[in-house]
């Protein structure tokens, strides 16, 4: 039996007509699915019992459930979601005084095996369906109200998986999150983070992508970056820079460069110089991220290295933010997400 949410609006309309139902039922059902995030037929209170029976006889819900939730001392909450086929993914809620950011996953595992990342050790299992991406938001949004008395304000596609390797489902989920027929969030509250799949970045630009784009660069030395992120072997810096420039020209957006500072690996002033040269042709802002120890063998940069790195970039008039890690005690910070951990 098919998930009710996997059929198109036209297919649902046809089903309703063929079953002797009025047209306006389509809007009511879709309202339950995409505005209210219903995950079963019983929740649909204004739908007649007769119609519910017809729907139940033909469709089901492949539900996503929260299997566990752990909360960090700093308020960050990590969720393990159980999918309908028994696979697990993770999501994180990060509260601050003014916002709650949800970090969501786009794949079960990841094929790209970046050497600092715990998810990469799982390998690729499967893409998430857009409803499974949407479900993470709905479930965490309910929890956000319970935990912080606030709904989610921002979403980052920065959990498990590379979003541009699951392009269609990620775009469908963004549609549902931003459309007035769905959650109606502003696209500027959403950030898609990629390792830098050039073709995918160009495709985003051509498709009129409205959210923000972040590039997980982490190293501005091309040869060295390949050791950290093996996928970049097929993505030269020239291709990457061209695609980022193309994205900026088409969307007018400034790109966020994410840079994980690793002690004595990419945190010297020379590394900062390379980063400056990489960024020079593209309007960017730079987020420097503190590293959280996993079993990767890398260490966090000492404060002095960070200071010198920032000073150099600021002397070149680049916009630089330092991102302090959240949720480290529950393995919810960047690069720590892995199935069942
Ligand atoms: S950092 Fe992102 S792209 Fe790299 S292995 Fe981890 S999840 Fe995959």
Q: Identify the residue with better confidence: 229 or 335.
A: 229
Does pLDDT of 331 surpass 80? no
Residue nearest to atom 4 of ligand 1 (CA): 114
Q: Is 19 inside any structural domain? A: yes
pTM over 0.85: yes
Ligand 1: which of 90, 114, 335 to mutate, judged by most atoms within 8 Å of the beta carbon?
114
Ligand 1 atom closest to residue 107's alpha carbon, by position in its atom list:
7
Distance 32 CA to ligand 1 centre (A): 34
Query: In this structure, what token pair is assigned to residue 72?
Result: 């960090």
State the distance from the centre of ligand 1 to the C-alpha of 234, rounded, in angstroms. Answer: 16
Q: Whose CA is nearest to atom 5 of ligand 1?
A: 120
* pLDDT for 140 beyond 50: yes
**Are residues 19 and 128 part of one domain?**
no
Q: For the segment 243-292, what is each residue's pLDDT rounded down to a tens digit?
A: 999 999 999 999 999 998 999 999 999 999 999 999 999 999 999 988 87
pLDDT tens sequence across 30-61? 999 999 999 999 999 999 999 999 999 999 99
Q: Which residues are catalytic?
A: 90, 334
Residue (of 193, 190, 195, 262) closest to 226 by Cα position: 195
| pLDDT value for 341 | 31
In the predicted structure, residue 332 carries a pLDDT above the cut 60: no
Q: What is the pLDDT of residue 294?
A: 60
pLDDT in tens, 173-200: 999 999 999 999 999 999 999 999 999 9
Residue 339 has pLDDT above 50, yes or no: no
**Residue 312 located in a structural domain:** yes
The answer, yes or no, to whether residue 69 has pLDDT greater than 80, is yes
Residue 339 falls within a domain, yes or no? no
Q: How confident is the model at residue 145 (pLDDT cuts 50, 70, 90)?
A: very high
Sheet containing 88-95: give its strands across: 65-71, 77-82, 88-95, 100-104, 154-157, 190-194, 212-216, 255-261, 284-290, 319-323
Report the nearest atom of ligand 1 relative to the CA of 159: 7
Atom of ligand 1 nearest to the CA of 160: 7
- Contacts of residue 115, Cβ cutoff 8 Å, sequence gap at least 6: 227, 228, 229, 230, 296, 298
pLDDT band at 115 (very low <50, low <70, confident <90, very high): confident
- 35 lies in the same domain as 109: no
pLDDT exceeds 50 at position 340: no
Percent of the chain with pLDDT over 70: 94
Q: How many residues does the chain have?
A: 341
- pLDDT, residue 121, reads 83
Dihedral sign for Cα atoms in the order 265, 221, 115, 330: positive
Report the separation in Å between the CA atom of 112 and the middle of ligand 1, taken as the mean of its atom positions.
6
User: Which pLDDT value is given to residue 217?
Assistant: 93
Residues 142 and 260 in one domain: yes
338 within some domain: no
Residue where one domain finishes, among candidates 11, 36, 60: 60
Q: Which class for 262: exposed (0-12), middle (13-18), buried (19 or more C-beta within 10 A)?
A: buried
| Average pLDDT of the segment spanning 293-320 | 89
Cα–chain center distance at 212: 11
Q: Ligand 1 atom 3: the closest Cα is on which residue?
A: 162
* pLDDT above 90: percentage of residues in the chain: 82
210 and 262 part of one domain: yes
CATH no. for residue 172? 3.20.20.70
Same domain membership, residue 251 and residue 128: yes
Do 52 and 71 fall into the same domain?
no
pLDDT-derived band at 295 (thresholds 50, 70, 90) equals low
Gap from CA of 60 to ligand 1 centroid (Å): 32
Residues 286, 176 share a domain: yes
Domains identified in the chain, total number: 2
d(CA 182, CA 134): 10
- In a shared domain, residues 47 and 105: no
Residues 90 and 128 in one domain: yes
Locate the ligand 1 atom nearest the alpha carbon of residue 113 and give its number: 5
Alpha-carbon distances of 2 from 15, 49, 55, 80, rounded to whole Å: 13, 20, 11, 25
More confident residue, 339 or 142: 142
Domain that holds residue 236: 65-330
- Mean pLDDT of all residues in the chain? 92
Q: Which of 9-13, 292-296, 320-324 has the lowest mean pLDDT?
A: 292-296
User: Residue 1: what pLDDT?
Assistant: 87
Please state, in angstroms and rounded to a whole number, the distance separating the CA atoms of residues 57 and 201. 42
Could you give the CA distance from residue 72 to residue 78 in angstroms, rounded to a whole number? 8
Query: Among 60, 78, 102, which residue terminates a domain?
Result: 60
- Domain for residue 294, yes or no? yes
Q: Are residues 193 and 295 in the same domain?
A: yes
pLDDT for 194 = 94
Q: Which residue has the higher pLDDT, 85 or 326?
A: 85
Final residue before a domain boundary, out of 60, 75, 96: 60
More confident residue, 318 or 326: 318
- Does 40 lie in the same domain as 76? no
Q: Let me know whether 38 and 131 are in one domain.
A: no
Mean of pLDDT values over 94-111: 95
Q: What residues does ligand 1 touch, defined as CB less than 6 Å away?
A: 110, 112-114, 117, 119-120, 160-162, 195
- With respect to residue 214, please indicate whether it lies within any of the assigned structural domains: yes
CATH code, 39: 1.10.150.530
């Amino acid at each position: 039996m098919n998930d009710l949410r996997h059929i198109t609006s036209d297919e649902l309309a046809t089903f309703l007509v063929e079953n002797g139902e009025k047209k306006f039922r389509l809007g009511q059902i879709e309202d339950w699915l995409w505005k209210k995030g219903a995950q079963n037929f019983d929740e649909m209170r204004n739908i007649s019992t007769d119609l519910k029976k017809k729907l139940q006889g033909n469709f089901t819900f492949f539900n996503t459930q929260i299997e566990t939730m752990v909360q960090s001392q700093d308020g960050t909450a990590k969720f393990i979601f159980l999918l309908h086929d028994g696979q697990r993914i993770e999501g994180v809620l990060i509260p601050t005084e003014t916002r709650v950011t949800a970090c969501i996953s786009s794949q079960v595992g990841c094929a790209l095996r970046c050497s600092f990342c715990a998810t990469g050790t799982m390998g690729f299992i499967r893409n998430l369906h857009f409803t499974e991406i949407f479900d993470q938001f709905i479930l965490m949004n309910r929890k956000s109200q319970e935990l912080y008395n606030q709904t989610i304000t921002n979403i980052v596609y920065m959990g498990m998986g590379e979003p541009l390797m699951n392009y269609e489902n990620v775009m469908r989920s963004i549609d549902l999150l931003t459309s007035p027929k769905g959650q109606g969030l502003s696209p500027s509250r959403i950030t898609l983070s990629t390792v830098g799949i050039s073709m995918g970045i160009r495709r985003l630009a051509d498709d009129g992508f409205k959210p923000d784009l972040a590039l997980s660069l982490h190293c501005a030395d091309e040869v060295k970056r390949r050791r950290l992120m093996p996928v970049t072997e097929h993505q030269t810096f020239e291709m990457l820079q061209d695609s980022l420039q193309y994205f900026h020209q088409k969307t007018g957006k400034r790109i966020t460069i994410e840079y994980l500072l690793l002690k004595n690996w990419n945190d010297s002033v020379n590394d900062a110089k390379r980063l400056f040269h990489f960024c020079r042709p593209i309007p960017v802002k730079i987020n420097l991220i503190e590293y959280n120890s996993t079993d990767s063998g890398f260490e966090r940069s000492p404060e002095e290295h960070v200071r010198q790195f920032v000073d150099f970039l600021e002397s070149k008039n680049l916009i630089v933010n330092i991102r302090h890690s959240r949720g480290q005690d529950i393995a919810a910070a960047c690069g720590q997400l892995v199935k069942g951990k």
